[in-house]
A and B are shown apart, each in its own frame.
Chain A
Amino acid sequence: MSTTTTPAPARSAGLRALLSRTGGERRGHTTVVDRIALGTAGLMVLLALAGPYLAPLDPYAVNLPAALTPPGAEHWLGTDANGRDILSRILAGGRTTLLATVAVIAAATVIGTVIGTAAALGGRIVDEVLMRICDVGLSLPAIVVALGLAAAMGPSLQSAVIALAATWWPGYARLVRTLVREVRDAEFVESARVLGVSRTRLVLRHVLPNSLSALYVQTTLDVSAVMLVISGLSFVGVGAQVPASEWGAMIAASRDTAVTAWWTVLFPGLAIAITAIAFNLVGDWLRVRTDPTLRTGGRR
Protein backbone atom coordinates (compact mmCIF):
# COMPACT_ATOMS: atom_id res chain seq x y z
CA MET A 1 0.00 0.00 0.00
CA SER A 2 1.55 3.26 -1.03
CA THR A 3 1.80 5.48 1.94
CA THR A 4 4.69 6.91 0.00
CA THR A 5 2.25 9.05 -1.97
CA THR A 6 1.96 11.33 1.03
CA PRO A 7 4.99 13.42 1.88
CA ALA A 8 4.07 13.90 5.52
CA PRO A 9 5.03 10.43 6.88
CA ALA A 10 8.52 10.78 5.52
CA ARG A 11 8.93 14.06 7.28
CA SER A 12 7.76 12.74 10.63
CA ALA A 13 9.79 9.58 10.16
CA GLY A 14 12.81 11.83 10.16
CA LEU A 15 11.58 13.50 13.30
CA ARG A 16 11.02 10.14 14.86
CA ALA A 17 14.50 8.95 14.01
CA LEU A 18 15.90 12.15 15.42
CA LEU A 19 14.04 11.72 18.67
CA SER A 20 14.67 8.03 19.17
CA ARG A 21 18.29 8.26 18.05
CA THR A 22 18.32 4.58 17.35
CA GLY A 23 20.15 3.97 14.12
CA GLY A 24 18.47 0.68 13.17
CA GLU A 25 14.88 1.42 13.99
CA ARG A 26 12.91 -1.79 14.14
CA ARG A 27 9.85 -1.56 11.96
CA GLY A 28 6.52 -2.45 13.45
CA HIS A 29 7.75 -2.36 17.01
CA THR A 30 6.57 0.14 19.54
CA THR A 31 9.52 2.13 20.78
CA VAL A 32 9.81 4.28 23.89
CA VAL A 33 9.18 7.39 21.81
CA ASP A 34 6.05 5.76 20.41
CA ARG A 35 4.87 5.00 23.92
CA ILE A 36 5.43 8.57 25.05
CA ALA A 37 3.64 9.89 21.96
CA LEU A 38 0.74 7.49 22.44
CA GLY A 39 0.54 8.42 26.12
CA THR A 40 0.59 12.13 25.36
CA ALA A 41 -2.01 11.82 22.64
CA GLY A 42 -4.15 9.75 25.00
CA LEU A 43 -3.73 12.39 27.68
CA MET A 44 -4.89 15.03 25.22
CA VAL A 45 -7.98 13.03 24.39
CA LEU A 46 -8.66 12.68 28.11
CA LEU A 47 -8.17 16.42 28.41
CA ALA A 48 -10.72 17.04 25.70
CA LEU A 49 -13.21 14.96 27.66
CA ALA A 50 -12.48 16.00 31.23
CA GLY A 51 -10.39 19.19 30.95
CA PRO A 52 -12.93 21.70 32.28
CA TYR A 53 -13.50 19.52 35.37
CA LEU A 54 -9.78 19.23 36.06
CA ALA A 55 -9.16 22.96 36.04
CA PRO A 56 -8.14 24.03 39.56
CA LEU A 57 -9.63 27.52 39.16
CA ASP A 58 -12.42 29.07 37.12
CA PRO A 59 -10.82 29.68 33.68
CA TYR A 60 -13.00 32.74 33.14
CA ALA A 61 -12.67 34.38 36.57
CA VAL A 62 -11.11 37.82 36.12
CA ASN A 63 -8.82 38.76 39.02
CA LEU A 64 -7.16 42.04 38.16
CA PRO A 65 -5.01 42.41 41.29
CA ALA A 66 -3.37 39.08 40.37
CA ALA A 67 -2.80 40.06 36.72
CA LEU A 68 0.39 38.79 35.12
CA THR A 69 1.54 36.79 38.13
CA PRO A 70 4.57 34.71 37.11
CA PRO A 71 4.39 30.91 37.49
CA GLY A 72 4.47 30.04 41.19
CA ALA A 73 2.85 28.04 43.94
CA GLU A 74 -0.54 29.68 43.61
CA HIS A 75 -0.74 29.84 39.82
CA TRP A 76 1.46 27.04 38.53
CA LEU A 77 1.64 28.50 35.03
CA GLY A 78 1.03 32.12 36.03
CA THR A 79 -1.87 34.39 35.08
CA ASP A 80 -2.70 36.48 32.03
CA ALA A 81 -3.35 40.24 31.78
CA ASN A 82 -6.80 39.76 33.27
CA GLY A 83 -5.49 37.69 36.15
CA ARG A 84 -7.02 34.44 34.82
CA ASP A 85 -5.22 31.24 35.75
CA ILE A 86 -3.35 30.00 32.66
CA LEU A 87 -3.25 26.34 33.71
CA SER A 88 -7.01 26.34 34.14
CA ARG A 89 -7.47 28.05 30.80
CA ILE A 90 -5.23 25.54 29.03
CA LEU A 91 -7.07 22.61 30.58
CA ALA A 92 -10.46 24.07 29.71
CA GLY A 93 -9.34 25.23 26.27
CA GLY A 94 -8.03 21.82 25.27
CA ARG A 95 -11.58 20.64 24.77
CA THR A 96 -12.39 23.50 22.42
CA THR A 97 -9.22 23.12 20.37
CA LEU A 98 -9.27 19.33 20.15
CA LEU A 99 -12.98 18.94 19.51
CA ALA A 100 -12.84 21.57 16.78
CA THR A 101 -9.88 19.73 15.23
CA VAL A 102 -11.62 16.38 15.37
CA ALA A 103 -14.78 17.89 13.90
CA VAL A 104 -12.85 19.35 10.98
CA ILE A 105 -10.99 16.11 10.26
CA ALA A 106 -14.05 13.92 10.65
CA ALA A 107 -16.09 16.05 8.28
CA ALA A 108 -13.26 16.35 5.76
CA THR A 109 -12.60 12.59 5.92
CA VAL A 110 -16.21 11.65 5.30
CA ILE A 111 -16.62 14.11 2.43
CA GLY A 112 -13.22 13.20 1.00
CA THR A 113 -13.88 9.46 1.19
CA VAL A 114 -17.28 9.69 -0.48
CA ILE A 115 -16.03 11.96 -3.25
CA GLY A 116 -12.74 10.11 -3.73
CA THR A 117 -14.48 6.74 -3.92
CA ALA A 118 -17.08 8.09 -6.33
CA ALA A 119 -14.31 9.50 -8.52
CA ALA A 120 -12.37 6.23 -8.50
CA LEU A 121 -15.34 3.99 -9.26
CA GLY A 122 -17.79 6.24 -11.03
CA GLY A 123 -16.43 6.27 -14.55
CA ARG A 124 -14.53 8.85 -16.51
CA ILE A 125 -16.90 11.77 -16.56
CA VAL A 126 -17.66 11.61 -12.84
CA ASP A 127 -13.96 11.28 -12.15
CA GLU A 128 -13.03 14.27 -14.31
CA VAL A 129 -15.69 16.56 -12.83
CA LEU A 130 -14.92 15.67 -9.22
CA MET A 131 -11.18 15.87 -9.66
CA ARG A 132 -11.32 19.26 -11.38
CA ILE A 133 -13.38 20.52 -8.43
CA CYS A 134 -10.69 19.12 -6.14
CA ASP A 135 -8.02 20.85 -8.20
CA VAL A 136 -9.75 24.16 -7.67
CA GLY A 137 -9.97 23.46 -3.95
CA LEU A 138 -6.33 22.41 -3.76
CA SER A 139 -5.08 25.38 -5.73
CA LEU A 140 -6.47 27.81 -3.18
CA PRO A 141 -4.52 28.13 0.06
CA ALA A 142 -6.74 26.57 2.73
CA ILE A 143 -6.15 29.12 5.42
CA VAL A 144 -6.99 32.09 3.17
CA VAL A 145 -10.21 30.50 1.94
CA ALA A 146 -11.12 29.45 5.45
CA LEU A 147 -10.41 32.97 6.60
CA GLY A 148 -12.75 34.38 3.97
CA LEU A 149 -15.48 31.82 4.58
CA ALA A 150 -15.28 32.18 8.34
CA ALA A 151 -15.37 35.96 8.07
CA ALA A 152 -18.38 35.77 5.73
CA MET A 153 -20.27 33.46 8.08
CA GLY A 154 -19.54 35.68 11.02
CA PRO A 155 -16.53 35.05 13.22
CA SER A 156 -17.13 32.14 15.56
CA LEU A 157 -15.45 28.83 16.24
CA GLN A 158 -18.33 27.06 14.50
CA SER A 159 -17.82 28.94 11.26
CA ALA A 160 -14.07 28.37 11.50
CA VAL A 161 -14.74 24.63 11.73
CA ILE A 162 -17.16 24.63 8.82
CA ALA A 163 -14.86 26.75 6.71
CA LEU A 164 -11.87 24.57 7.42
CA ALA A 165 -13.75 21.33 6.70
CA ALA A 166 -14.91 22.83 3.42
CA THR A 167 -11.33 23.60 2.40
CA TRP A 168 -9.67 20.47 3.79
CA TRP A 169 -11.56 17.65 2.02
CA PRO A 170 -10.06 17.93 -1.50
CA GLY A 171 -6.75 16.57 -0.22
CA TYR A 172 -8.51 13.54 1.24
CA ALA A 173 -10.59 13.06 -1.88
CA ARG A 174 -7.40 12.95 -3.95
CA LEU A 175 -5.76 10.51 -1.58
CA VAL A 176 -8.79 8.23 -1.37
CA ARG A 177 -9.21 8.24 -5.14
CA THR A 178 -5.63 7.07 -5.58
CA LEU A 179 -5.93 4.44 -2.86
CA VAL A 180 -9.23 3.08 -4.16
CA ARG A 181 -7.99 2.94 -7.74
CA GLU A 182 -5.05 0.92 -6.55
CA VAL A 183 -7.22 -1.65 -4.82
CA ARG A 184 -10.20 -1.64 -7.17
CA ASP A 185 -8.57 -3.91 -9.74
CA ALA A 186 -6.94 -6.19 -7.20
CA GLU A 187 -7.55 -9.86 -7.78
CA PHE A 188 -9.25 -10.37 -4.43
CA VAL A 189 -11.88 -7.83 -5.42
CA GLU A 190 -12.42 -9.78 -8.63
CA SER A 191 -12.54 -12.99 -6.60
CA ALA A 192 -15.25 -11.54 -4.38
CA ARG A 193 -17.16 -10.45 -7.47
CA VAL A 194 -16.96 -14.00 -8.74
CA LEU A 195 -18.76 -15.12 -5.59
CA GLY A 196 -21.74 -12.93 -6.40
CA VAL A 197 -20.94 -10.17 -3.93
CA SER A 198 -22.93 -7.02 -4.68
CA ARG A 199 -21.30 -3.80 -5.80
CA THR A 200 -22.07 -1.96 -2.59
CA ARG A 201 -20.66 -4.74 -0.47
CA LEU A 202 -17.60 -4.95 -2.72
CA VAL A 203 -16.87 -1.29 -2.08
CA LEU A 204 -17.62 -1.28 1.63
CA ARG A 205 -16.13 -4.61 2.66
CA HIS A 206 -13.39 -5.28 0.15
CA VAL A 207 -12.16 -2.10 -1.49
CA LEU A 208 -12.38 0.52 1.26
CA PRO A 209 -10.96 -1.52 4.16
CA ASN A 210 -7.92 -2.18 2.02
CA SER A 211 -7.48 1.37 0.85
CA LEU A 212 -8.08 3.44 3.92
CA SER A 213 -5.18 2.58 6.20
CA ALA A 214 -3.12 5.29 4.54
CA LEU A 215 -6.03 7.67 5.05
CA TYR A 216 -6.18 6.96 8.79
CA VAL A 217 -2.52 7.73 8.99
CA GLN A 218 -2.99 10.92 7.05
CA THR A 219 -5.76 12.03 9.42
CA THR A 220 -3.62 11.56 12.52
CA LEU A 221 -0.83 13.46 10.82
CA ASP A 222 -3.29 16.18 9.91
CA VAL A 223 -4.47 16.58 13.51
CA SER A 224 -1.49 18.78 14.18
CA ALA A 225 -1.87 20.78 10.98
CA VAL A 226 -5.58 21.41 11.50
CA MET A 227 -5.03 22.29 15.14
CA LEU A 228 -2.46 24.86 14.14
CA VAL A 229 -4.77 26.35 11.53
CA ILE A 230 -7.68 26.53 13.96
CA SER A 231 -5.45 28.19 16.51
CA GLY A 232 -4.22 30.43 13.72
CA LEU A 233 -7.75 31.39 12.72
CA SER A 234 -8.54 32.09 16.35
CA PHE A 235 -5.32 34.07 16.57
CA VAL A 236 -6.34 36.37 13.70
CA GLY A 237 -9.79 36.70 15.16
CA VAL A 238 -12.17 34.65 13.02
CA GLY A 239 -12.17 31.54 15.23
CA ALA A 240 -12.91 31.26 18.90
CA GLN A 241 -13.95 34.64 20.29
CA VAL A 242 -12.42 36.64 23.05
CA PRO A 243 -13.36 35.22 26.42
CA ALA A 244 -13.08 31.63 25.14
CA SER A 245 -10.02 29.78 26.32
CA GLU A 246 -9.09 28.23 22.97
CA TRP A 247 -5.30 27.79 22.79
CA GLY A 248 -4.74 29.91 19.68
CA ALA A 249 -7.07 32.59 20.99
CA MET A 250 -5.14 32.61 24.27
CA ILE A 251 -1.91 33.36 22.44
CA ALA A 252 -3.66 35.98 20.34
CA ALA A 253 -5.06 37.69 23.43
CA SER A 254 -1.62 37.74 25.03
CA ARG A 255 0.18 39.34 22.08
CA ASP A 256 0.77 42.56 24.01
CA THR A 257 2.19 40.87 27.06
CA ALA A 258 4.40 38.36 25.25
CA VAL A 259 7.56 40.38 25.87
CA THR A 260 6.98 41.30 29.47
CA ALA A 261 5.20 38.11 30.63
CA TRP A 262 6.54 35.19 28.64
CA TRP A 263 4.36 32.64 30.40
CA THR A 264 1.18 34.04 28.86
CA VAL A 265 2.18 32.81 25.40
CA LEU A 266 4.70 30.10 26.15
CA PHE A 267 2.39 27.62 27.87
CA PRO A 268 -0.53 27.73 25.41
CA GLY A 269 2.08 27.53 22.66
CA LEU A 270 3.67 24.51 24.33
CA ALA A 271 0.26 22.86 24.62
CA ILE A 272 -0.24 23.26 20.88
CA ALA A 273 3.28 22.12 20.05
CA ILE A 274 3.25 19.05 22.31
CA THR A 275 -0.14 17.93 21.03
CA ALA A 276 0.91 18.46 17.43
CA ILE A 277 4.12 16.48 17.85
CA ALA A 278 2.37 13.69 19.76
CA PHE A 279 -0.27 13.21 17.07
CA ASN A 280 2.37 13.34 14.37
CA LEU A 281 4.30 10.55 16.05
CA VAL A 282 1.14 8.53 16.58
CA GLY A 283 0.40 8.93 12.89
CA ASP A 284 3.82 7.62 12.03
CA TRP A 285 3.46 4.73 14.45
CA LEU A 286 0.11 3.88 12.86
CA ARG A 287 1.61 4.08 9.40
CA VAL A 288 4.13 1.40 10.22
CA ARG A 289 1.63 -0.71 12.13
CA THR A 290 -1.12 -0.68 9.53
CA ASP A 291 1.02 -1.36 6.50
CA PRO A 292 -0.06 -4.92 5.67
CA THR A 293 3.28 -5.68 4.08
CA LEU A 294 5.09 -4.90 7.33
CA ARG A 295 2.87 -6.94 9.61
CA THR A 296 4.63 -9.46 11.78
CA GLY A 297 4.27 -12.95 10.44
CA GLY A 298 3.78 -11.71 6.90
CA ARG A 299 5.18 -14.00 4.27
CA ARG A 300 5.26 -11.70 1.30
Chain B
Amino acid sequence: MSAHPTQGSPLLDIRGLTVSYPTPQGPAQVVRGVDLAVAPGERVALVGESGSGKSVTARSVLRLDPDARTGGRILLEGEDVLEMTPREVRRVRGARAGLVFQDPLASLNPVKTVGWQITQPLRIRGVGRREARRRAVDLLGRLGVADPDRRFDDHPHQFSGGMRQRVVIAIAVIAEPRLLIADEPTTALDVRVQAQVLELMEDLARERGMAVLLITHDLGIVAGFARRVAVMRHGLIVEEADVDRLYASPSHPYTRSLLDAVPRIGDAPGRRLGAPVPATTEGEAL
Protein backbone atom coordinates (compact mmCIF):
# COMPACT_ATOMS: atom_id res chain seq x y z
CA MET B 1 0.00 0.00 0.00
CA SER B 2 2.71 2.46 0.87
CA ALA B 3 5.64 2.69 -1.55
CA HIS B 4 7.98 4.14 1.03
CA PRO B 5 8.41 2.36 4.33
CA THR B 6 8.99 4.36 7.47
CA GLN B 7 12.72 4.41 7.84
CA GLY B 8 15.49 6.84 8.57
CA SER B 9 14.76 10.34 9.79
CA PRO B 10 11.20 11.56 9.39
CA LEU B 11 10.31 14.28 6.90
CA LEU B 12 8.05 15.97 9.39
CA ASP B 13 8.62 15.53 13.08
CA ILE B 14 6.28 17.34 15.44
CA ARG B 15 7.39 17.12 19.07
CA GLY B 16 5.43 18.33 22.04
CA LEU B 17 3.59 20.94 20.01
CA THR B 18 1.42 23.29 22.01
CA VAL B 19 -0.66 26.07 20.47
CA SER B 20 -2.70 28.65 22.31
CA TYR B 21 -4.50 31.78 21.28
CA PRO B 22 -4.74 34.89 23.39
CA THR B 23 -8.33 35.72 24.32
CA PRO B 24 -9.76 38.35 26.66
CA GLN B 25 -10.33 35.52 29.14
CA GLY B 26 -6.70 34.46 29.00
CA PRO B 27 -4.91 32.10 26.63
CA ALA B 28 -7.02 29.36 25.05
CA GLN B 29 -5.02 26.17 24.79
CA VAL B 30 -5.99 24.47 21.54
CA VAL B 31 -3.16 21.99 21.03
CA ARG B 32 -1.75 20.48 24.21
CA GLY B 33 1.38 18.55 23.39
CA VAL B 34 1.14 16.71 20.10
CA ASP B 35 3.80 14.31 18.85
CA LEU B 36 3.49 13.20 15.27
CA ALA B 37 5.99 12.05 12.68
CA VAL B 38 5.59 11.62 8.94
CA ALA B 39 8.25 9.71 7.02
CA PRO B 40 9.20 10.65 3.44
CA GLY B 41 6.56 9.33 1.07
CA GLU B 42 4.30 8.21 3.89
CA ARG B 43 0.57 8.91 3.96
CA VAL B 44 -0.74 9.67 7.42
CA ALA B 45 -4.24 10.65 8.44
CA LEU B 46 -4.98 12.94 11.35
CA VAL B 47 -8.60 12.50 12.34
CA GLY B 48 -10.78 14.06 14.97
CA GLU B 49 -13.96 16.00 15.44
CA SER B 50 -14.35 19.73 14.85
CA GLY B 51 -12.40 21.69 17.40
CA SER B 52 -10.03 18.85 18.24
CA GLY B 53 -7.06 20.94 17.13
CA LYS B 54 -6.19 18.96 14.01
CA SER B 55 -6.39 21.91 11.63
CA VAL B 56 -4.44 24.14 14.00
CA THR B 57 -1.74 21.49 14.16
CA ALA B 58 -1.57 21.39 10.38
CA ARG B 59 -1.55 25.16 10.02
CA SER B 60 1.25 25.44 12.55
CA VAL B 61 3.51 23.47 10.21
CA LEU B 62 3.37 26.41 7.80
CA ARG B 63 3.07 29.00 10.59
CA LEU B 64 -0.18 30.35 9.20
CA ASP B 65 -1.60 31.93 12.35
CA PRO B 66 0.35 34.98 13.38
CA ASP B 67 -1.65 35.22 16.62
CA ALA B 68 -0.86 31.70 17.75
CA ARG B 69 1.50 31.16 20.68
CA THR B 70 3.37 27.98 19.95
CA GLY B 71 5.61 25.71 21.98
CA GLY B 72 7.50 22.52 21.22
CA ARG B 73 9.19 21.81 17.91
CA ILE B 74 8.11 21.24 14.33
CA LEU B 75 11.01 19.76 12.42
CA LEU B 76 10.62 19.81 8.67
CA GLU B 77 13.53 18.02 7.06
CA GLY B 78 15.40 18.59 10.29
CA GLU B 79 14.79 22.33 10.52
CA ASP B 80 12.53 23.81 13.18
CA VAL B 81 9.76 25.75 11.44
CA LEU B 82 8.86 27.53 14.66
CA GLU B 83 12.37 29.04 14.83
CA MET B 84 12.43 30.33 11.26
CA THR B 85 12.36 33.97 10.19
CA PRO B 86 9.32 35.04 8.14
CA ARG B 87 11.46 35.00 5.01
CA GLU B 88 12.54 31.41 5.64
CA VAL B 89 8.95 30.40 6.36
CA ARG B 90 7.92 31.82 3.01
CA ARG B 91 10.49 29.64 1.31
CA VAL B 92 9.07 26.58 3.01
CA ARG B 93 5.52 27.36 1.96
CA GLY B 94 4.58 25.85 -1.35
CA ALA B 95 8.08 24.58 -2.12
CA ARG B 96 8.78 22.18 0.73
CA ALA B 97 5.29 21.80 2.13
CA GLY B 98 2.04 22.42 0.24
CA LEU B 99 -1.38 22.84 1.76
CA VAL B 100 -4.79 22.09 0.28
CA PHE B 101 -7.81 23.69 1.87
CA GLN B 102 -11.33 22.44 2.25
CA ASP B 103 -13.31 24.65 -0.11
CA PRO B 104 -11.98 24.53 -3.65
CA LEU B 105 -13.92 27.58 -4.81
CA ALA B 106 -12.92 29.79 -1.92
CA SER B 107 -9.28 28.77 -2.39
CA LEU B 108 -9.12 30.12 -5.91
CA ASN B 109 -8.77 33.76 -6.86
CA PRO B 110 -11.93 34.53 -8.87
CA VAL B 111 -10.37 37.13 -11.16
CA LYS B 112 -7.27 35.21 -12.26
CA THR B 113 -7.19 32.38 -14.76
CA VAL B 114 -6.67 28.89 -13.50
CA GLY B 115 -3.39 28.71 -15.40
CA TRP B 116 -2.12 31.89 -13.84
CA GLN B 117 -2.81 30.48 -10.40
CA ILE B 118 -1.26 27.09 -11.05
CA THR B 119 1.91 28.60 -12.44
CA GLN B 120 2.20 31.21 -9.70
CA PRO B 121 4.26 29.04 -7.30
CA LEU B 122 6.72 28.45 -10.14
CA ARG B 123 6.69 32.02 -11.41
CA ILE B 124 7.48 33.54 -8.01
CA ARG B 125 10.45 31.19 -7.86
CA GLY B 126 11.81 32.38 -11.16
CA VAL B 127 10.59 29.71 -13.60
CA GLY B 128 9.96 31.13 -17.09
CA ARG B 129 6.43 31.67 -18.37
CA ARG B 130 6.66 29.06 -21.11
CA GLU B 131 8.23 26.39 -18.95
CA ALA B 132 5.73 27.06 -16.15
CA ARG B 133 2.84 26.70 -18.57
CA ARG B 134 4.18 23.46 -19.97
CA ARG B 135 4.49 21.95 -16.51
CA ALA B 136 1.07 23.20 -15.44
CA VAL B 137 -0.65 21.80 -18.53
CA ASP B 138 1.12 18.47 -17.99
CA LEU B 139 0.00 18.37 -14.41
CA LEU B 140 -3.60 19.31 -15.23
CA GLY B 141 -3.73 16.53 -17.79
CA ARG B 142 -2.23 14.18 -15.26
CA LEU B 143 -4.99 15.16 -12.82
CA GLY B 144 -7.65 14.19 -15.32
CA VAL B 145 -8.67 17.62 -16.58
CA ALA B 146 -9.81 17.18 -20.17
CA ASP B 147 -8.24 19.45 -22.79
CA PRO B 148 -5.87 21.07 -20.28
CA ASP B 149 -4.24 23.39 -22.79
CA ARG B 150 -7.53 25.14 -23.46
CA ARG B 151 -8.81 25.02 -19.86
CA PHE B 152 -5.55 26.68 -18.77
CA ASP B 153 -6.97 30.09 -19.68
CA ASP B 154 -10.36 29.56 -18.05
CA HIS B 155 -11.44 31.20 -14.82
CA PRO B 156 -12.29 29.19 -11.69
CA HIS B 157 -16.03 29.75 -12.02
CA GLN B 158 -15.96 27.84 -15.30
CA PHE B 159 -14.86 24.69 -13.48
CA SER B 160 -17.04 22.22 -11.60
CA GLY B 161 -16.42 21.52 -7.92
CA GLY B 162 -14.37 18.40 -8.47
CA MET B 163 -12.35 20.03 -11.23
CA ARG B 164 -11.66 23.01 -9.00
CA GLN B 165 -10.31 20.78 -6.28
CA ARG B 166 -7.99 19.21 -8.87
CA VAL B 167 -6.80 22.71 -9.73
CA VAL B 168 -6.23 23.42 -6.05
CA ILE B 169 -4.22 20.23 -5.74
CA ALA B 170 -2.25 21.15 -8.86
CA ILE B 171 -1.40 24.51 -7.30
CA ALA B 172 -0.28 22.83 -4.10
CA VAL B 173 1.98 20.27 -5.76
CA ILE B 174 3.36 22.07 -8.81
CA ALA B 175 6.45 23.29 -6.98
CA GLU B 176 7.02 19.64 -5.98
CA PRO B 177 6.88 19.87 -2.20
CA ARG B 178 7.98 16.78 -0.32
CA LEU B 179 5.03 17.12 2.04
CA LEU B 180 1.43 17.81 1.16
CA ILE B 181 -0.94 18.74 3.94
CA ALA B 182 -4.56 18.28 2.93
CA ASP B 183 -6.97 19.91 5.36
CA GLU B 184 -10.32 18.22 4.76
CA PRO B 185 -9.76 18.33 1.00
CA THR B 186 -12.92 16.45 0.11
CA THR B 187 -15.46 17.77 2.57
CA ALA B 188 -17.01 20.16 0.04
CA LEU B 189 -17.33 17.47 -2.64
CA ASP B 190 -19.90 14.78 -3.25
CA VAL B 191 -19.05 11.22 -2.36
CA ARG B 192 -18.14 10.00 -5.84
CA VAL B 193 -15.89 12.97 -6.54
CA GLN B 194 -14.37 12.56 -3.08
CA ALA B 195 -13.16 9.11 -4.01
CA GLN B 196 -11.73 10.31 -7.33
CA VAL B 197 -9.88 13.20 -5.75
CA LEU B 198 -8.42 11.02 -3.02
CA GLU B 199 -7.32 8.47 -5.57
CA LEU B 200 -5.62 11.17 -7.63
CA MET B 201 -3.85 12.49 -4.57
CA GLU B 202 -2.70 9.02 -3.70
CA ASP B 203 -1.39 8.34 -7.21
CA LEU B 204 0.38 11.65 -7.32
CA ALA B 205 1.95 11.10 -3.92
CA ARG B 206 3.12 7.66 -4.97
CA GLU B 207 4.61 8.91 -8.25
CA ARG B 208 6.52 11.74 -6.66
CA GLY B 209 7.42 10.08 -3.39
CA MET B 210 5.53 12.89 -1.71
CA ALA B 211 4.35 12.47 1.85
CA VAL B 212 0.74 13.38 2.62
CA LEU B 213 -0.77 14.41 5.92
CA LEU B 214 -4.52 14.08 5.49
CA ILE B 215 -6.63 16.00 7.99
CA THR B 216 -10.21 14.82 8.16
CA HIS B 217 -13.14 14.18 10.43
CA ASP B 218 -14.36 11.43 8.16
CA LEU B 219 -12.94 8.04 9.08
CA GLY B 220 -14.75 6.63 6.08
CA ILE B 221 -12.27 8.09 3.61
CA VAL B 222 -9.14 7.33 5.60
CA ALA B 223 -8.93 3.59 5.21
CA GLY B 224 -8.08 3.41 1.53
CA PHE B 225 -5.72 6.34 1.65
CA ALA B 226 -3.49 6.37 4.68
CA ARG B 227 -1.39 3.68 6.22
CA ARG B 228 -1.20 5.21 9.63
CA VAL B 229 -3.89 7.08 11.52
CA ALA B 230 -3.58 9.44 14.45
CA VAL B 231 -6.77 10.25 16.33
CA MET B 232 -6.95 13.63 17.96
CA ARG B 233 -9.26 14.95 20.62
CA HIS B 234 -9.20 18.04 22.81
CA GLY B 235 -5.76 19.00 21.54
CA LEU B 236 -4.15 15.64 22.20
CA ILE B 237 -3.45 12.58 20.14
CA VAL B 238 -5.40 9.86 21.89
CA GLU B 239 -4.49 6.96 19.64
CA GLU B 240 -2.03 6.34 16.83
CA ALA B 241 -1.94 3.07 14.95
CA ASP B 242 -1.75 1.32 11.60
CA VAL B 243 -4.98 1.71 9.74
CA ASP B 244 -5.82 -2.00 9.75
CA ARG B 245 -5.25 -2.38 13.45
CA LEU B 246 -7.13 0.76 14.28
CA TYR B 247 -10.16 -0.34 12.33
CA ALA B 248 -10.02 -3.91 13.58
CA SER B 249 -9.50 -3.17 17.24
CA PRO B 250 -9.61 0.46 18.29
CA SER B 251 -8.09 0.71 21.73
CA HIS B 252 -9.33 4.11 22.76
CA PRO B 253 -13.05 4.47 23.46
CA TYR B 254 -13.13 7.74 21.52
CA THR B 255 -11.74 6.04 18.40
CA ARG B 256 -14.40 3.40 18.76
CA SER B 257 -17.15 5.97 18.93
CA LEU B 258 -15.73 7.72 15.85
CA LEU B 259 -15.71 4.46 13.94
CA ASP B 260 -19.25 3.79 15.00
CA ALA B 261 -20.28 7.11 13.53
CA VAL B 262 -19.41 5.99 9.99
CA PRO B 263 -22.60 4.93 8.20
CA ARG B 264 -22.43 1.64 6.33
CA ILE B 265 -24.46 -0.01 3.65
CA GLY B 266 -26.01 -3.19 4.96
CA ASP B 267 -26.74 -1.92 8.42
CA ALA B 268 -30.14 -2.66 9.76
CA PRO B 269 -32.45 0.21 8.93
CA GLY B 270 -32.98 2.50 11.86
CA ARG B 271 -29.63 1.72 13.45
CA ARG B 272 -28.42 4.62 15.50
CA LEU B 273 -25.00 5.86 14.48
CA GLY B 274 -22.70 5.57 17.45
CA ALA B 275 -24.26 2.37 18.80
CA PRO B 276 -21.78 -0.53 19.15
CA VAL B 277 -21.35 -2.47 15.88
CA PRO B 278 -18.64 -4.73 14.45
CA ALA B 279 -15.65 -2.81 13.01
CA THR B 280 -15.56 -2.09 9.30
CA THR B 281 -13.10 -3.29 6.75
CA GLU B 282 -11.41 -0.91 4.36
CA GLY B 283 -13.39 -1.82 1.29
CA GLU B 284 -16.66 -0.90 2.81
CA ALA B 285 -15.39 2.33 4.18
CA LEU B 286 -14.63 3.84 0.81
> Which residues of A pack against B, CB within 8 Å?
186-188, 190-198, 201, 205-206, 209-210, 292, 295, 297-300
Contact = CB atoms under 8 A, between A and B. Distances in A.
Interface residues of B, number: 31
B93 A196 contact: yes
A201 B124 contact: yes
B101 A187 contact: yes
Contacts of A187: 101, 103, 106-107
Contacts of B64: 190, 193-194
B88 to A, nearest CB: 11
Interface stretch (B39-47, B109-117, B245-253, B262-270): B109-117
A191 B112 contact: no
A188 B109 contact: yes
Most chain A CB within a 10 A radius of its CB, from B90, B111, B157: B111
Contacts of A194: 62, 64, 93-94, 98-99, 101, 172
Contacts of A188: 106-110
30 contacts: A186-B106, A187-B101, A187-B106, A188-B109, A190-B101, A191-B99, A191-B168, A194-B64, A194-B93, A194-B94, A194-B98, A194-B99, A194-B101, A195-B94, A195-B120, A195-B121, A195-B171, A196-B91, A196-B93, A196-B95, A196-B121, A197-B124, A201-B124, A209-B109, A209-B111, A209-B112, A297-B157, A298-B157, A299-B160, A300-B157
B92 interface: yes
B93 A193 contact: yes
Contacts of B112: 205-206, 209
B127 to A, nearest CB: 13
Specify the main secondary structure of chain B where it touches its partner. Answer: loop
A196 B157 contact: no
Given A209-B111, A210-B109, A292-B110, A191 B157 contact: no
Interface in B202-247: none
Given A209-B112, A210-B109, A191 B121 contact: no
Contact of A292 (B62, B92, B157, B160): B157
Contact of A196 (B101, B103, B108, B124): B124
A188 B106 CA distance: 6
B9 interface: no
B158 interface: yes
Nearest to A211: B111
Contacts of B105: 300
Top-9 shortest CB links A-B = A195-B94, A187-B106, A196-B93, A196-B94, A191-B107, A194-B99, A188-B109, A196-B90, A195-B121
A299 B156 CA distance: 10
A298 B93 CA distance: 31
A187 B6 CA distance: 34
A26 to B, nearest CB: 19
Contact of B92 (A186, A193, A196, A201): A196
A237 B91 CA distance: 60
Nearest to A300: B157
